[in-house]
Amino acid sequence: MAGGIYIHIPFCLKKCFYCDFYSEAADDKDLRALYIGALLADIEFYGKKYGKASGKAPGSFEADTIFFGGGTPSLMEPEHIETVISALKEKFNVAENAEITMEANPATLSAAKLSGYRKAGINRLSIGAQSFDDRVLEGLGRVHRARDISETVAMARQAGFDNINLDLMFAVPNQTMDSWKESLEKIIHIKPEHISFYSLEIAENTPFGRWLEEGKLAETPVAEDRQMYSLGIEMLEAAGYEHYEISNMALSGRECRHNLKYWQMDDYLGLGPSAHSFMEGKRFSSIGDVYKYIEMNPDERVQDIYQNSLNDNASEFVFTALRTKDGVSLEAFKKRIGVEFWQHYKDCREEFGKYVLDGYAVCDETHIALTAKGIDISNKIMAIFV
């Protein structure tokens, strides 16, 4: 089965006010080198379980996507990234044409670094732009400014990257509808192959979470959030992007192959502190602390091992597929889960049918999917299939 490998890089120059992903605000060269050593031990360990040394047929887990996420992977030296990619290719069956993505922050890149990453084998960059308005970037606690974004993309093009994603955020502090519209205009002008756009989520254990509780931060009203979301889709569609997943749009053929794996419930192996895996029906994660991670042996880092039941598999398949434009293919469901969709969900059919009648969802003999209107209440509709 084709699968994906995720590598977590748990370092950032500084924590953004909203971010709940695991990373340490550390820029310590020795720690980074120690971390690569610890990762290599994991690669060897999991190579014996799922890779070339597992004794399994080469096709049982062939990685056709690799994703360096974070944190800020672009804080790593190109040599470090090269070492990790070489080790992955040595220990796992990695497809010749694998998509190899790296997340990058605008303020952390140079022309030399970018060409080093390209040479190391990275063929897709995902850059955290967030906004083209300096007031908004400041309000988010970002270290970069709007000017850095176009400069970074220009340098990346120069270094040979022809597959670039830019992340945007909306419904964030200091952002007016005009500011959001201007960010969309600027991103369209830059024309990356892929654009992700996320509505702000406020997590408790972040500065934003605390400020919300203390009344120092106000949430964007839902109606405005949805208006921004619709404007984003409208403008990006007019510019030639296809809305293929709730928060993702791409030029034709440039969908993120790695993220599609999560949405199609394919196997993926996540390495590094806090990374999650779904392999051979089992979910597990790695301890979310880089210092402990470095000290432990690979087998001690694993936690929260959970064998998915048939019901888990079915509802996870529906949840993730409903996020995509194509929705749930009834045939793919049967193939992956092993039972007929409406046989498994016979008790939900009537309730789902009401959403279809009201124009929130569509349903025919081959698939079910959400409509644009349905995406706004996606959580409610998905809850039917828990």
Ligand X SMILES: C[S@@+](CC[C@H](N)C(=O)[O-])C[C@H]1O[C@@H](n2cnc3c(N)ncnc32)[C@H](O)[C@@H]1O
21 touches ligand X (CB under 6 A)? yes
Site for ligand X in 66-105 (CB under 6 A): 69-70, 72, 103, 105
Binding status of residue 128 toward ligand X by CB under 6 A:
yes
Angle between helices 146-158 and 111-120 (to 10 degrees): 50
Instruction: Report if residue 74 touches ligand SF4, rule: CB under 6 A.
Output: no
Region binding ligand X by CB under 6 A among candidate stretches 153-161, 196-204, 270-278, 374-382: 196-204
CA 184 to CA 172: how far, in whole Å? 15
The entry of ligand X, ligand SF4, none that residue 169 binds, CB within 5 to 8 Å by partner kind: ligand X
Rounded least distance, CB 224 to ligand X, Å: 16
Which residue, 276 or 336, has its beta carbon nearer to ligand SF4?
A: 276
Query: Residue 128, interface with ligand SF4 (CB under 6 A)?
Result: yes
Which of 15/56 has CB closer to ligand SF4? 15
Q: Is 167 in the site for ligand X (CB under 6 A)?
A: yes
Contact, 242 vs 322, CB < 8 A?
A: no
CB of 175 to ligand SF4, least distance (A): 16
Name the residue among 202, 199, 208, 190 with its Cα closest to residue 229.
Answer: 199
8 Å CB contact between 171 and 225: yes
- Nearest alpha carbon to residue 206 among 379, 17, 41: 17
Interface with ligand SF4, residue 71, by CB under 6 A: yes
| 5, 7, 19, 88: which one binds ligand X (CB under 6 A) | 19
Phi, psi of 5 (to 5 degrees): -120, 130
**Residues near ligand X (CB under 6 A), total:** 16
Name the residue among 174, 178, 195, 205 with its Cα closest to residue 128: 195
User: CA torsion sign, 152 to 228 to 263 to 191?
Assistant: negative
- Stretch of 15-23, 145-153, 263-271, 299-307 lying at the interface with ligand SF4 (CB under 6 A): 15-23
Sign of the dihedral defined by the CA atoms of residues 153, 157, 159, 165, in that order: positive
Q: Is 19 in the site for ligand SF4 (CB under 6 A)?
A: yes
153 binds ligand X (CB under 6 A): no
Instruction: Report phi then psi at 354, rounded to 5.
Output: -65, -40
Interface contacts to ligand SF4, rule CB under 6 A: 12, 15-16, 19, 21, 23, 70-72, 105, 128
